[in-house]
Structure 1
Amino acid sequence: MFHDGERMVVVSDKISKDASGVLSAQLGKEKRIVPLRFYQALSKIALSVIPEAELAALQRTVGWVRYGSSADMPIPKVAAAIVPLSPDPSAQITLYIRKKDVSRLPHVVCEFRLGCYMYVYALPFSERDNWDLIEFFEDDDFKDTFRHYSYVPSWILQDYGNNREIPIVQNITFAPRNA
């Protein structure tokens, strides 16, 4: 998939069209990924820009990213969405760092944007968190504090806790405007 200067072009050997006019195209070949590695990569991005003063509480997180320690512990889901904002060609990371320890909010909430894709996740295993953060995105304290996320209509909560390799096939679907 590329932009030719005027429009997006999709090149695929596997394109299908159903009776209602919906086109589906497979993008590339099947790839094998380890979902947990994706969460670790997102966490590594956040750790690379976090203020040094916060690192003391994140030593378990650093160990998990670098060495896979705590790999048997559950991790929070990642909220993902395609946002209706003008896409920026460069990646962006925003960190929300909790200042007081009297809240159920995660110590560090991360927002990673790449083009029109947005991922919101919590850094796991912080000493400043007093719970496992598994359902943090649905927590009332989180929703009350991060109200701007309610304007995104299509969040998908993705579980990247799997440490086994899985096959992934990327597809893109186009529906006619009148469908």
Structure 2
Amino acid sequence: METHKTTFHFKSLVASEGFKLESTNKRNNDLFTAEFLEIFSNKDEEDKATGTISNPLSYDVNIKNKVFDFIDRNSSKFPSLNGLTSFFNKLEEGNLYVIIFNIELTAELSLYLSSHLKAWENDEDVNKLVKEDMDLFGTTFENYRTRIAGDFRKAVGNPIRKQRVCRFCNESMPKVTFKKKAHAISEALGNKNIVLYDECDKCNERFGKTIEGDIITYLELFRTIYGIKGKGGKKKIKGKNFEASKGEGNQIEIKFFSLDDRPKVGDDYNIKLEFDKKVTHQNIYKTLTKFFISVIDDSELPNFEDSINWINGKINAKELPLVGEAINYDTFVHHPRLLYFLRKSDDTNLPYAVCQFFYTCKMFLFVVPFSSKDSVELNRKIDWKHTFKSLSHLDKYKGWGFYNHSNNTPRTFTISLNTDIKTEE
């Protein structure tokens, strides 16, 4: 029986959200769509707002209340509607947004719409702003197909359980089961938006026990500082020499177990936070790659068979490409976001798959290793200067440091914080 799909994306400068409606009954699908879009249409106009991309809509409390009423009446059948509650709660008077209906929201389209929204809200020249933003991404869009994962609620893979094939072990039912909800990006990092149908329970449990814990520990301080709600809610960190938790407002409370570790009033002090969990750096790289494998279209999977073998421990890697890391508050996100780029040409001097992973103010830049589309040498080393020229948008991010995550031995994990301790007046 044919499944009818309808997608909606809501985009503003302060929030983004989306949901997908799937039904075997086309008439029910059409009635739902018509009723939902009626909320946003102008009744004085003959042509209802049922186009592919709406005109800019201004935040309105009455529309918000109608949306919430619609959600109350329909969320039991379509739980993904609940994401719109968060979207409208983030909007304020004067904020504009657009509705993207039945169109894939690619990175190019998202950037194009953001440029328009900025121009409309700030009364700027639309064409000028669009040109500036598109020029910034010039070589990026020229050399790479660009996609975003994590901003919107989405389920990747086959929704029919009996037909699923696990992306990581290539097994299907009844040999493996698919009963648990597999998050494409670790739920412990705050991902509530994107899930993967095609990950079996056995692989899901194995990755949770082996590789994913390392990146969770690596990013644990960011999770606590910014109050990111992961699996089980907000987390308190307890290390070897400290305990940290989110205090009132923007305050962070750090308690030291020894007076020798505490900062002294009036001094510039380098605080060392020693974690009680060791970190295996290659597992961090493996997990980042697993996030990528979990969100791509299944037609791309044959290009990454050895990448999956490496994640599974079937390939021993002693030398991997360096991974970029940076702090950037302009790209701050409340939900993990993966921006990935797939090379358009056969130019093997460029890596086939490059990814940016955003977590709060932290950014990672990495190549997906062991792609069949890349040379053997590129799986060990990468000329990041050459790659930056082919991904021109990377120039806007400053402060990159490139680190070796090849080590496969658990190591003690310590974070150093430079602070200026002052008394309260």
TM-score (ref. length: structure 2): 0.38
The 3-state SS of whatever aligns with 1:136 is coil
With over 3 angstroms needed to count, the CA separation of the structure-2 counterparts of 1:30 and 1:3, relative to structure 1, is closer
Post-superposition shift, 1:2? 4.3
Superposition pairs of residues 28-43 of structure 1, within 5 angstroms: 29-43=275-289
Equivalent of residue 294 in structure 2, options 48, 56, 60: 48
Query: Is 2:262 the counterpart of 1:15?
Result: yes
Q: Is the 8 A contact 2:274 2:413 kept in 1?
A: no
Give the distance between the partners of 1:12 and 1:173, measured in 2 at CA. 16
The 3-state SS of whatever aligns with 1:85 is helix
Give the distance between the partners of 1:62 and 1:40, measured in 2 at CA. 9
Q: Is the 8 A contact 2:317 2:406 kept in 1?
A: no
Between structure 1 and structure 2, the one with the greater Rg is: 2
Of residues 148-157 and 91-100 in structure 1, the stretch that sits farther from structure 2 once superposed is 148-157
Q: Is the 8 A contact 1:12 1:28 kept in 2?
A: no
Give the distance between the partners of 1:110 and 1:148, measured in 2 at CA. 13
Of residues 106-115 and 7-16 in structure 1, the stretch that sits farther from structure 2 once superposed is 7-16
Equivalent of residue 136 in structure 1, options 353, 357, 382: 382
Give the distance between the partners of 1:30 and 1:3, measured in 2 at CA. 19
Q: Is the 8 A contact 1:15 1:26 kept in 2?
A: no
Q: Deviations over 1:103-159 (max 9, x none)?
A: 42211101100000000101000010123244435232x121222222222111110
Give the distance between the partners of 2:265 and 2:247, measured in 1 at CA. 27
TM-score (ref. length: structure 1): 0.85
The 3-state SS of whatever aligns with 2:378 is coil
Q: Is the 8 A contact 1:27 1:170 kept in 2?
A: yes
Of residues 151-160 and 68-77 in structure 1, the stretch that sits farther from structure 2 once superposed is 68-77
Equivalent of residue 125 in structure 1, options 370, 395, 401: 370
Q: Deviations over 1:47-77 (max 9, x none)?
A: 10012111101100011112x1222352111
With over 3 angstroms needed to count, the CA separation of the structure-2 counterparts of 1:2 and 1:152, relative to structure 1, is farther
Contiguous gaps of at least 5 residues in structure 1: none
- What letter corresponds to residue 42 of structure 1 in structure 2? L
Give the distance between the partners of 1:173 and 1:159, measured in 2 at CA. 23
Superposition pairs of residues 78-93 of structure 1, within 5 angstroms: 78-85=323-330, 87-93=332-338
- What letter corresponds to residue 153 of structure 1 in structure 2? K
The 3-state SS of whatever aligns with 1:96 is strand
Give the distance between the partners of 1:109 and 1:15, measured in 2 at CA. 41
Between Structure 1 and Structure 2, how many residues are aligned? 173
Equivalent of residue 308 in structure 2, options 54, 62, 65: 62
Of residues 53-62 and 85-94 in structure 1, the stretch that sits farther from structure 2 once superposed is 85-94
Misfit runs of 4+, over 3 Å: 1-5, 26-30
Over the matched positions of the two proteins, sequence identity in percent amounts to 20
- What letter corresponds to residue 263 of structure 2 in structure 1? S
With over 3 angstroms needed to count, the CA separation of the structure-2 counterparts of 1:37 and 1:18, relative to structure 1, is farther
The 3-state SS of whatever aligns with 1:104 is coil
Give the distance between the partners of 1:17 and 1:146, measured in 2 at CA. 45
Greater relative CO, 1 or 2 (CA 8 Å, sep 6+): 1
Contiguous gaps of at least 5 residues in structure 2: 1-243
Richer in strand (by share) = 1
Residue in structure 2 matched with residue 150 of structure 1 by the alignment: 395
Residue in structure 2 matched with residue 99 of structure 1 by the alignment: 344
Richer in helix (by share) = 2
Post-superposition shift, 1:164? 1.0
Residue in structure 2 matched with residue 172 of structure 1 by the alignment: 417
Q: Is the 8 A contact 2:281 2:405 kept in 1?
A: yes
The 3-state SS of whatever aligns with 1:12 is strand
Considering only aligned residues, what root-mean-square deviation do their CA atoms show, in Å? 2.2
